[in-house]
């Protein structure tokens, strides 16, 4: 039986752009698990009320319901051990740091460059919610958050320095093979890739070579994703 993934979608139901849902999507693909995705919009809270909270990703695996991308990764590793996402308890603990870094540093850095673009791709019924919740978070209009991004985009490659340095010593963040650490960073980068046409990395950034390999994994799951 397939696992059901409630996956954030745009006005186009095939446009899937959540950085958290992408982490889950890659983890499911890594495990080779059949998955059925359900397009979900920010304001479809009743559709996932069964999960006891109001955000995606949410998965339903038989009778088991899990929300939150990190908790889902832990659940999948426990329930379907091979191939591994973490390489053991210590690998999982170290990945939690990378997850925290992506959530607290990388995600915010990207948001300040593309958050206004998201408004153009989401479902019309989500737009008021998205604008008001994000403007409250940033304390300014979405247009103000994103302004001067051509100048500010130069800071993003610097934010990604730890990723670039780690990949100098190994082909994947997971070492010899991709791990959930790769899915965390790659999933976060799928967010701007899918919902914006603004380029975040220079054409000669060494990270692009890794990103290209990530896009090819699991039958080109990332590469075939719909883009705005």
Residue from 82, 90, 136, 203 in contact with a second copy (CB under 8 A): 90
Cα–Cα distance for residue pair 186/29, rounded to 1 Å:
14
Strand order of the β-sheet with 35-40 is: 35-40, 3-8, 58-61, 64-67
* 207 part of the interface to a second copy, by CB under 8 A: no
What b-and-e string marks burial along 121-152, b requiring 16 or more CB atoms within 10 Å of the CB? bbbeebbeebbeebbeeeeeebeebbeebeee
Binding span for a second copy by CB under 8 A among 6-14, 55-63, 171-179, 192-200: 171-179
* 221 part of the interface to a second copy, by CB under 8 A: no
* 161 part of the interface to a second copy, by CB under 8 A: yes
* 170 part of the interface to a second copy, by CB under 8 A: yes
Cα–Cα distance for residue pair 198/150, rounded to 1 Å:
9
Residue from 100, 140, 144, 202 in contact with a second copy (CB under 8 A): 100
Range 102-131, binding a second copy (CB under 8 A): 103-105
Nearest approach, Cβ of residue 52 and a second copy (Å)? 19
The residues pairing with 37 across neighbouring beta strands, listed in sequence order, are 5
Task: Provide the binding-site residues for a second copy, judged by CB under 8 A.
Answer: 84, 86-101, 103-105, 161-163, 165-166, 169-170, 172-177, 179, 181
């Amino acid at each position: 039986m397939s696992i059901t993934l409630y996956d954030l979608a745009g006005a186009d139901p095939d446009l899937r752009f959540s950085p958290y849902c992408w982490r889950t999507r890659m983890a499911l693909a890594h495990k080779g698990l059949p998955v059925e995705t359900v397009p979900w919009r920010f304001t479809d809270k009743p559709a996932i009320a069964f999960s006891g909270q109001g955000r995606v990703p949410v998965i339903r695996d038989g009778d088991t319901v899990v929300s939150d991308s990190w908790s889902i990764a832990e659940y999948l590793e426990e329930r379907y051990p091979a191939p591994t996402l973490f390489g053991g308890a210590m690998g999982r603990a170290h990945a939690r740091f990378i997850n925290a870094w992506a959530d607290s540093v990388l995600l915010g850095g990207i948001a300040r460059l593309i958050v206004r673009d998201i408004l153009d791709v989401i479902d019309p019924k989500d737009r008021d919610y998205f604008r008001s919740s994000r403007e409250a978070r940033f304390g300014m209009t979405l247009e103000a958050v994103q302004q001067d991004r051509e100048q500010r985009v130069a800071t993003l490659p610097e934010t990604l320095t730890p990723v670039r340095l780690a990949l100098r010593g190994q082909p994947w963040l997971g070492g010899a093979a991709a791990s959930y650490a790769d899915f965390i960073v790659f999933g976060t980068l799928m967010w701007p890739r899918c919902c914006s046409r603004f380029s975040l990395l220079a054409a000669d950034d060494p990270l692009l070579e890794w990103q290209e390999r990530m896009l090819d994994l699991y039958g080109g799951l990332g590469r075939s994703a719909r883009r705005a």
